A and B are shown apart, each in its own frame.
Chain A
Amino acid sequence: QLSVLLSLQLTSEDMIAAFSQAVDWAGCTVRAFAWHPHTNKFAVALLDDSIRVYNSNSATVPSLKHRLQRNVAAMAWKPLCASILAVACQSCVLVWHLDPTSLSTRPSSGCAQVLSCPGHSPVTSLAWAPSGERLLSASPVDTAMLVWDVSTETCVQLQWFGGGGVTYLAWSPDGSKVLAATPSAVFRVWEAQMWTCERWPTIRGRCQTGCWSPDGSRLLFTVLGESVIYSLSFSEYRGEMQGQVGGSKTASIVADLSETTFETLYGEERIGGEVHSMVWDPTGERLAVIIRGEACPLFPPHSGFVRGERGARPQLISFHPCFPQGALLTVCWSSGKISHIPFFFVGALEPHASPRRSPVPVLGSVREQPLFSEL
């Protein structure tokens, strides 16, 4: 019933603006951003419905345009591939097959594959499986999450009733679990082997954003209207527990980002508030958060803030998936600038193996606030 209400009251642009990870999707120049998982290449979706692909090894900037590419809400590069980009559009999902060695600045629309399903529009979130075979797409008006096999253009609808559509998807980096947030006060965590799910009701508000630790054992999420970060831990994936998500009984608060006053060189600053989006770097050691207009990276045990030019507010944040010397945070500002901020550090654990237990950032005191899960 919620999805019906939503579709009556909001236009699709309003819906995308409400559920997108960008702070001001409707008005800002940059609407979506995606790093390529293996190379120094990223794609930026702009206000004029075009997508630009920037590559550090090449001077040409291909610009992707298609008549169905309108109101781009999210983008995702296919893992284990040179250049296949999935774009969540108003009425469908476009999958661009770009030639990695081509020097053309306007790839033809013939390179794009259209994946559409009736009733599944607008598409607001996409997630590729880390093994590169399946693509998940979600729409706030469709109660079913679609699992696409892109090469044969077939999809399977994973329907679950209760909660309305699906607004945000996040696949854990080890490929075992998927977070699916809904417009109501419930989110689901699916396990990706037999596709069963656990249902997590929140106290108030919907799940605004979430991110996984690199080994898939911990999920950090925030709730709309609250300024705390919750953590949910999952038992280590062994492969023998088919059909069980393995989540713990309650979520705990790990960070409280309520408004506080800080003394800085320039006088008092009030920082803090609701979290809009959150990203966790691939080494598991840095967490970056956009709080109601300010970007703030947290790392144990201190926290720091990133500030742009005067009047510029951060829109989107993303970590580079394979920065060898630590972490690289990319911030897209409301002025249209994109800045890359490196954090040089030596990881606490070996660089190649995934960490067994990810370090959890703690700020201030930790309050236990149990949330009950229904299995």
Chain B
Amino acid sequence: MSMVIIIISIFNIEFYAVVPSIPCSRLALIGKIIHPQQVIHSFVHAIMGMLVTWCATVMTKGRFQFLAVSCTPSEGLEDAVPQMCLNEYHLFFLLSGAFLGYSYSLFYLINNMNYLPFPIIQQYKYLRFRRSLPLLIKHSCVESLHFVRNFCVTYYFFGYIPKVWICTTMDLHTDGKLHPLDTLSGLLDLSLFYHTWLSGVFLLMTWYIAWLLFKIYATESHHFPIQPTFAQETDQCLPKILNSNPPLLIKFLALQDLMLLSQYSPVRRQEVFSLSQPGGHPHNWTAISRECLSLLSDLTQRLIAQQEAAAAANGRAKPPVGELKVPPQTPGAAGIEDMSFQSQSSPALNYKMGVVDIKSPWHGPVQSPHVMRRGPKLWTSVSDQQMNGSHHESFPVLSAARTGTEAVQPRFIYTWLQNKQEQIKTFLSKRALIMYFFSKHPEASIQAVFSDAQMHIWALEGLSHLVAASFTEDQFGVVQTTLPAILNTLLTLQEVVDRHFKLPHVSSKPPRISGSLVDTSYKTLRFALRASLKTALYRITTVFGEHLNAVQVSTEHKKRLQQFLEYKE
């Protein structure tokens, strides 16, 4: 029994993930299930299940104990040699254990139970465990019921296969006197059902407790020192860990610690704001702020790329909704030319969005990050200058395509290949079965983009609390020099996130299932990110107040900061 628990725990440790892997399409889901790692996981769990139920049968004694028992003597036979018969109850038990183990593994995979959710409030480990225990017990009982019911159905249809196999290999006979179990009358045995259910509850409870304890211990907040007091601790201190590339769990714990120290620990905050001896450089603050800002800019880039992909996809299929109020033209003619600019469409689109400012509704704060980012690059590229001449067109993608005809010739083969690829895709998309497997589930793809947003949420909270605290606690002014960069990054991210939420499906909340053992908080991480981003900005503006007007930021951002100062956002 203990060996079983140890093996289960090893599997928990091997398979954990702080970032859930979300399959975006049904094919990806099937791929996940037949992945060799997962197959091994299921197989081992099935064996474990069988072992546990075998232990349970040994403990129960009675009629379940042995695989082979002597047959009930029949009066008709002349020779009274006792024969060994298959004890079908025992077999039933072992197979139910295997089935339970396999179902647990499948359930584990589909519900992303290897995902480690971090708790929303900090609590001592014992209290967390005690809090989750009633739900765990209830869940095990209900789930065991479902699994046993499914197993009974499976055994009814397929039970004869293992029976026959065991009988032939072990040279046993089926006992004619007793009812065979793979019939309705055999399966309606209440005592059997009760015993199987009870062993299922036992099995699930021990496995879930092991999983719960692993989760609680792994997500416990860890205290990282900021200033190393001993030489061997240098690698463990917070700025160093954040800047190197540690395993994801360590990075998560480091960011969680940053979030906690920024709120609750004045002593450690002082260490963050301190200067190095000698030299007077704010190494700690620089390292921490640089890492947080790079995380946030990374997310900004990812979201922009996602939005461009969505806009490009929409441009090919149908007119984009919402933003562009000018009448959209049919994209049919732009089909071929559009393909050749797939790789270039990114800077082209952004350029369009940047330059078509007088005429289109993109004018305003929306296009500023692109102007800022793409501005310097525009004047160096030749193809961009060609597009420069025709930027008075209405539809960005179309105009890019139309002006691109001059540059098509050298790329003929390339476009022809792309064209063929497109034709095959359209052909396949008409086949419903293929689309059933390949179609990207929109909600899942959105969740996948934000799957590691917990890191960004903590970075935002930690950074904003430190900046707010620096108003009174920063003696050397180390935070002030980085304030423009911080504000720029936060405001840019906020624009991009707001725009992202205008895409279809993003702002709809997935249905909430309360009272379930499985944690689905990763599905709503994007809402938490948006809320904590706004709160972070308000925290900084509330503490600094009118002093923020002295910080060097672009005019666009100054206007938005003013909105925040007046509580109008």
Contacts and interface: CB of A to CB of B under 8 A. Distances in A.
A313 to B, nearest CB: 34
B568 A151 contact: no
B230 interface: no
Chain A: interface secondary structure? loop
B130 to A, nearest CB: 9
Contact of B524 (A151, A175, A239, A243): A151
Nearest to B569: A82
A80 interface: yes
Contact of B509 (A83, A100, A153): A153
B122 A193 contact: yes
B266 A100 contact: no
B512 interface: yes
A2 B265 CA distance: 39
Could you say which of B121, B509, B514 has the most chain A C-beta atoms within 10 Å of its C-beta? B121
Contacts of B569: 82, 100
A238 interface: yes
Interface in A83-103: 83, 100-101
Given A100-B568, A101-B568, A134-B121, A240 B528 contact: no
A281 B176 CA distance: 87
Nearest to A115: B512
Interface in B500-531: 509, 512, 514-515, 521, 524-525, 527-528, 530-531
A195 B131 contact: no
A161 B527 CA distance: 34
Given A81-B538, A132-B535, A152 B525 contact: yes
Contacts of B122: 193-195
Interface in A69-125: 80-83, 100-101, 117-118
Contacts of B127: 195
Interface string A216-237: 0000000000000000000000
Contacts of B532: 133, 151
Interface string B435-461: 000000000000000000000000001
B542 A38 contact: yes
A153 B131 contact: no
30 contacts: A38-B567, A80-B535, A80-B539, A81-B534, A81-B535, A81-B538, A82-B568, A82-B569, A83-B567, A100-B567, A118-B515, A131-B263, A132-B538, A132-B539, A134-B121, A149-B528, A151-B524, A151-B530, A152-B525, A152-B528, A153-B509, A157-B131, A159-B131, A193-B264, A195-B121, A239-B264, A239-B265, A239-B266, A239-B267, A240-B265
Interface of A: 36, 38-39, 80-83, 100-101, 117-118, 131-134, 147, 149-154, 156-157, 159, 175, 193-196, 238-240, 243, 353
Nearest 3 interchain pairs by C-beta: A151-B531, A80-B538, A152-B524
Interface of B: 119-124, 127, 131, 263-267, 461, 465, 472, 509, 512, 514-515, 521, 524-525, 527-528, 530-532, 534-535, 538-539, 542, 567-569
